Structure 1
Amino acid sequence: MASSAEISLALVAGEVSGDMLAARLLAGLRPELPNARFHGIGGPRMIAQGLVSDVPIETLTVRGLFEIIPRYREIKGIQNRLRERLLAERPAAFIGADYPGFNLGLEEQLRAGGIPTVHFVGPQIWAWRGGRIKKIQRAVSHMLVIFPFEEPIYKAAGVPVTYIGHPLAETIPLAPDVAAARAALGLAPDARVVTVMPGSRMGELKYLAEPFVRAAGILARRDPALRFVVPMAGERQRAWFSESVAQAGLGHVELQLVDDSHTAIAAADAVLVASGTATLEVALFKKPMVIAYKVMRASWEIMRHMGYQPWIGLPNILAREFLVPELLQHAATPEALADALWRQLNDGAQRDKLAARFLDMHHSLRRDSARESAQAVLRVIGR
């Protein structure tokens, strides 16, 4: 059996959520394989766990169906070069962290070439594009899933699968410290705080920054004492967001831009949030929220006919009901967003109900995901 020093594992994450998930896996693997080489494509969290990233993760980050077209050749070139390199290097396994459009295609080719493949976070075939299961059967040696209802779906399709729990359910405390979060942000303990989360990707900011800020402006007129906190994923997002606010003539709305999204969520009374992993983060912090989603019109016209269920927000999908409002595409106007969030801010009974439901959700997702995912990978590579 090869020693730890001789083992190489390749990983690819294409956006912030995948970087976070794969970093937990690497944290579990490192004690078991202390001298192994981790390489591929990842973000700061994966790099902090020892990954050598061949290209910046931002190079892969694209959102929507048509938005990828201008960058298709660039991204396809990265995929082809990585495939050829890995087929030559023969890592013990390839691990794709989410980002299925890129990773499943790469995994299919690598597995056909005899390299075991692990896909971390099952694509949402339960939500849309169920036909993708046939590609998954060809591409994936072992699937890691983060929601309990996913395991039987993959088992029924004959795909080896392990439910590992959701890493966020471990890193977010069951009882967040609101006072400490507000103190860290310089907010008064009794302030009314709205956290605005228009997304970590530039494509999300393009479509949601302006309606979110205009909604904040409407709310500020209703209650001038409201404080608004906006977490930004990086300097590029911060600069773009600030410029878009200025161009929209919304400089009079006081928005506190911060780096730490978890502190911003913990401090909030309610959150206006782009659909995605952030909605689950907000739920785990037990906060009322309004979920919004907007993409290029052509993308929307296709995607709106592809869903299998009435919800897009993860908290609602897990609850199997509309626990919190979802405003999609044309419905996500500043006025509608402001009205929905105003109700969330001022309905104490609803806030208590949500906190209880979100606490139950938190417990159901809480496992040692680093250990569970690492053990599954070790089984795949025969360790």
Structure 2
Amino acid sequence: MVAGETSGDLLASRLLSGLRPHLPNADIHGIGGPKMAQYGFRSDWPMEKLSVRGLFEVLAHYREIKGIQNALRDALLLERPAAFIGVDAPDFNFGLEAQLKLAGIPTMHFISPSIWAWRGGRIKKIARAVSHMLVVFPFEEEIYRKAGIPVTYVGYPLAEVIPMEPDVAAARAALGLPASARVVAILPGSRMSELKYNSVAFIEAAKVLAQRDPSIRFVVPMAGEKQRAYFLELISKAGLADVPIQLVAGRSHEAIAAADTVLVASGTATLEVALFKKPMVIAYKMMRASWHILRHMGYQPWIGLPNILAREFVVPELLQDAATPQALADALWSQLSDDALRSRLRQRFTDMHHSLLRDTAQESAQAVLQLIGKRLT
């Protein structure tokens, strides 16, 4: 198995929670994180080596990442595992899966790339690489069936983990936040490249809000100590060390649950925020050269998963030059100030939550066991 970042580690752990009881003695290894390790997963390389986003950012680390891919490929071709499962990280995993599948090793990919949002031509590449696709959104099944790729809809794993009615009071108590305060959670991303481009604008937005209402509390979860140190370095260099933010180690779900609204970098975290029924402002910045290329590759108007699932802009998206501190602060302030809007979003996200509920652990485990020729007992 290969997962390339924090969200992939969490998603893969859900699959492993269903699979491990049926394969208690299997050697499950590759690249992954601490949540996968809880189910006896052995990581051959640190997961952080793959946590790079953006065309030019990846190029800067290309030699190292390609070296890891080649070394893992060579080891697996010798080992000939019962199956290889790539968890997200499509640019790394599809290349690896294609070579393994060609050699007769069954390959599964967990979580479809957003071929329905951009780069739709990838379906042919996926067909060459993947023996079986696990998808987390119901509309994705038809796309793969039409392309002749075996597919199973397993539901969105975090729809089972996140409660239908989050306990706001308990989350605030756990984080030491006042029960009656207005709370903004800020999630600039878990990748170092995301922190590089998002952190300063996000914290400058917090500074604007704090000037409007000094009682607002800001909570910023960090994925790890390396991310925390880099984040603090970035905001210190930008002269923002005095902005009253509360950094927490991990605990992103508690931070989201405690919040009245969330400023979140585009990605899977946006859907987590929706499952917590929270208003959000989706924002994203990246290297300018990457942006000029990627902005022409989309063929639908949304990038945030809640908006894509809703097929409309239910929450604002502010990207690249539009993601100014003032614009971010204004959008967050509107959500903090509009009780009717928060109520509408809560209902919309509750309906979305119900639509994504399946027994993901068992559905995905059954698909894996069928792929390797075993049955659930």
Question: CA separation in 1, counterparts of 2:116 and 2:135?
Answer: 12
Question: CA separation in 1, counterparts of 2:60 and 2:176?
Answer: 42
Structure 2 residue identity aligned to 1:278 = A
Question: CA separation in 1, counterparts of 2:54 and 2:39?
Answer: 30
Provide the residue aligned with 2:104 in structure 1: 114
Question: CA separation in 2, counterparts of 1:69 and 1:187?
Answer: 42
Matches within 5 A, 1:132-281: 132-259=122-249, 260-281=251-272
1:24 to 2:29 alignment: no
SS state of the match for residue 264, structure 2?
Answer: strand
SS state of the match for residue 180, structure 1?
Answer: helix
Structure 1 residue identity aligned to 2:247 = L
Question: CA separation in 2, counterparts of 1:375 and 1:65?
Answer: 36
- Structure 1: 4+ residue segments shifted above 2 A: none
Question: CA separation in 2, counterparts of 1:91 and 1:129?
Answer: 31
Report the alpha carbon displacement of residue 116 of structure 1 after superposing the two structures with TM. 0.3
1:329 to 2:320 alignment: yes
SS state of the match for residue 332, structure 2?
Answer: helix
SS state of the match for residue 258, structure 1?
Answer: strand
SS state of the match for residue 298, structure 1?
Answer: helix
TM-score in terms of structure 1 length: 0.97
1:315 to 2:302 alignment: no
Q: Which runs of 5+ in 2 are unaligned?
A: none
1:67 to 2:54 alignment: no
SS state of the match for residue 228, structure 1?
Answer: strand
Matches within 5 A, 1:33-72: 33-72=23-62
Structure 2 residue identity aligned to 1:203 = S
Matches within 5 A, 1:283-298: 283-298=274-289
Aligned mate of 2:357, from 362, 366, 383: 366
Report the alpha carbon displacement of residue 49 of structure 1 after superposing the two structures with TM. 1.3
Provide the residue aligned with 1:348 in structure 2: 339
Q: Percent identity?
A: 72
Give the superposed CA RMSD.
0.7
Report the alpha carbon displacement of residue 304 of structure 1 after superposing the two structures with TM. 0.3
Structure 1 residue identity aligned to 2:331 = A
Question: CA separation in 2, counterparts of 1:288 and 1:69?
Answer: 35
When the two structures are aligned, how many residues end up with a matched partner? Answer: 373
SS state of the match for residue 18, structure 1?
Answer: helix
Question: CA separation in 1, counterparts of 2:67 and 2:233?
Answer: 32
Q: Deviations over 1:287-326 (max 9, x none)?
A: 0110001110110001001012100000000000000000
Q: Deviations over 1:136-168 (max 9, x none)?
A: 111100000001110100001000000000011
SS state of the match for residue 242, structure 1?
Answer: helix
Report the alpha carbon displacement of residue 250 of structure 1 after superposing the two structures with TM. 1.4
Provide the residue aligned with 1:15 in structure 2: 5
Q: Deviations over 1:165-213 (max 9, x none)?
A: 0011010000000000000011111011011111111111101100000
SS state of the match for residue 130, structure 1?
Answer: coil
Question: CA separation in 2, counterparts of 1:135 and 1:173?
Answer: 37
Structure 2 residue identity aligned to 1:53 = S
Report the alpha carbon displacement of residue 280 of structure 1 after superposing the two structures with TM. 0.5
TM-score in terms of structure 2 length: 0.98
1:303 to 2:294 alignment: yes
Report the alpha carbon displacement of residue 251 of structure 1 after superposing the two structures with TM. 2.2
Question: CA separation in 1, counterparts of 2:97 and 2:239?
Answer: 47
Report the alpha carbon displacement of residue 71 of structure 1 after superposing the two structures with TM. 1.1
Q: Which runs of 5+ in 1 are unaligned?
A: 1-10
Question: CA separation in 2, counterparts of 1:356 and 1:281?
Answer: 15
Structure 1 residue identity aligned to 2:125 = K
Provide the residue aligned with 1:8 in structure 2: none
